[in-house]
Amino acid sequence: MKITTGYTSTYISGKGFFFETGNVLINKSCSGFSFLLICLVLTALLLMKYCSNEAVFLKRLPAGIAFSFLFTLLVNSSRILTALWIKKIGFQISLMNADTQHELLGAFIYLAYLTAAYLWGDSYLNKKNHENIS
């Protein structure tokens, strides 16, 4: 977050990262580790779909791992920035408490980014596959 926004945080043991700007605490459970695992599995499945054999798969796997890690950083930063923006403008769904709204926002952002990444990755690898056949 410091790289993308300049905001600094303080780690509070057992709780997470506290950003004084915006008075926001990012819980340890929001670290994105689960998203990274899902992204790695999705990347591996796409590679298995388009790699002609195990050697090609293993050759492309390091790039897939790097992509998954960088993509996770992008998505988590996006999620945090969106949550900060929503808090700044004072948006609140009256039928939901703040925790439920936060979880809903996270689920929406994660699902949207994963769907976009899958569609882009499938299209890109399909195009590359057809170029190699030609």
Contacts of 75 (CB under 8 A, 6+ apart): 32, 35, 109, 110, 113
Q: How many residues does the chain have?
A: 134
**Residues 22-49: pLDDT tens digits?**
677 777 666 688 899 999 999 999 999 9
Mean pLDDT calculated for residue range 75-104: 79
7-25: buried (b, 16+ CB within 10 Å) or exposed (e) per residue?
bebeeeeeebbebeeeebe
- Give residue for tokens 């977050």: 1
Residue 118: pLDDT above 90?
yes
Residue 134: pLDDT above 60?
no
61: helix, strand or coil: helix
Which of the 8 DSSP states describes residue 111?
H
**Amino acid identity, residue 81?**
L
What does the domain layout of the chain look like in residue ranges? 31-133
Residue 75: pLDDT above 70?
yes
pLDDT of residue 83: 79
CB–CB of 80/1 below 8 Å?
Answer: yes
